[in-house]
Amino acid sequence: MKKKLKEYLLKLILIIPIAYFSLLFIIFIFQRNLLYHPKENNYSGDELKVKIEKVKVETGDNIELLGWFHEKDLINFKTLVFFHGNAGTLENRIHKINHFKEMNINFLIISWRGFSGNLGKPSEKGLYEDGESAINWLKGKGLKDNDIILYGESLGTGIATHVAQKRKFAGIILESPFTSMVDAAKNVYPYFPIRFLLKDKYESDKKIKNFKSPILIMHGEADKIVPFWMGKKMYELANEPKYSYFSEKDNHMMEYNKKMIVVLKEYLKSLN
């Protein structure tokens, strides 16, 4: 009996590390499938109520990105660039951009490489290139940094934060931002050496200190994907002038209710 027990314990001792390191290997190999979800559909059936032009934004590595462009008045109004999160298509943001019709702004929303039928595969380096390409596309229309407002949603906050460094944009809006992808992943996989495994780190907390633009940070205290403390930390790290909209009941995808719309309108008005 004792011999069988020892054999069982020995097998268990061997199996546990083998299973653990096998799981680490799987996570390392397939981590971008866990991070980027181009085929996920969170919202559907929303009617587009704002006039847009479908455009192609070419990147520096020759990938064409689908974009929606709404031009109201490029001379008198700022232009907002919307960087969406890690899942879905442009159609999944219709419920948000419909509200831009009520605001005195132009806007461009792009879909990342590998999303919405675009070629390429998403990665941190690739999405930084996509973000910069959106800015360059607008500059091709005669706009300068101080004519442009960056809006990052969830994962898009990582791209907005990177692009905004040491530049004087008109403003920056971060919705449900994370401090870094390392911190966000540790929240889901606390027992894994995430810092060593992760390819796409998106270290926004190290970059936000380099902002030179007025910033609005929005985060729901009930966020179950990116913990609220991350948004609060990003706000604490940001330079003045800075503004916040922290909602007690909002989850990760914040509700575009009347209160949020008022906050956005007031912030945008302050930039003109």
Q: pTM of the full predicted structure? A: 0.93
Biggest alpha carbon–alpha carbon distance for the chain = 85
Residues in the chain: 272
CATH number for region 49-271: 3.40.50.1820
Per-residue pLDDT of the chain (272 residues; tens, 9 = 90+): 566 666 666 666 777 777 777 777 888 888 899 899 998 877 667 889 999 999 999 999 999 999 999 999 999 999 999 999 999 999 999 999 999 988 999 999 999 999 999 999 999 999 999 999 999 999 999 999 999 999 999 999 999 999 999 899 999 999 999 999 999 998 888 888 888 889 999 999 999 999 989 999 999 999 999 999 999 999 999 999 999 999 998 998 898 999 999 999 999 999 98
Give the start-end residues of each E strand in 71-214.
78-83, 105-110, 148-153, 171-175
Which long-range contacts does 139-147 make (Cβ < 8 Å, 24+ apart)? 141/74, 142/74, 143/74, 143/79, 145/169, 145/170, 146/170, 147/74, 147/78, 147/79
Task: Respond yes or no on whether the N-terminal peptide bond of residue 241 is cis (omega within 30° of 0).
Answer: yes
pLDDT the model gives residue 7: 65
CB within 8 Å of 252: residues ≥ 6 apart: 154, 176, 220, 223, 224, 225, 226
pLDDT the model gives residue 10: 67
Nearest-angstrom CA–CA distance, 123 and 7: 46
pLDDT the model gives residue 21: 74
pLDDT the model gives residue 253: 86
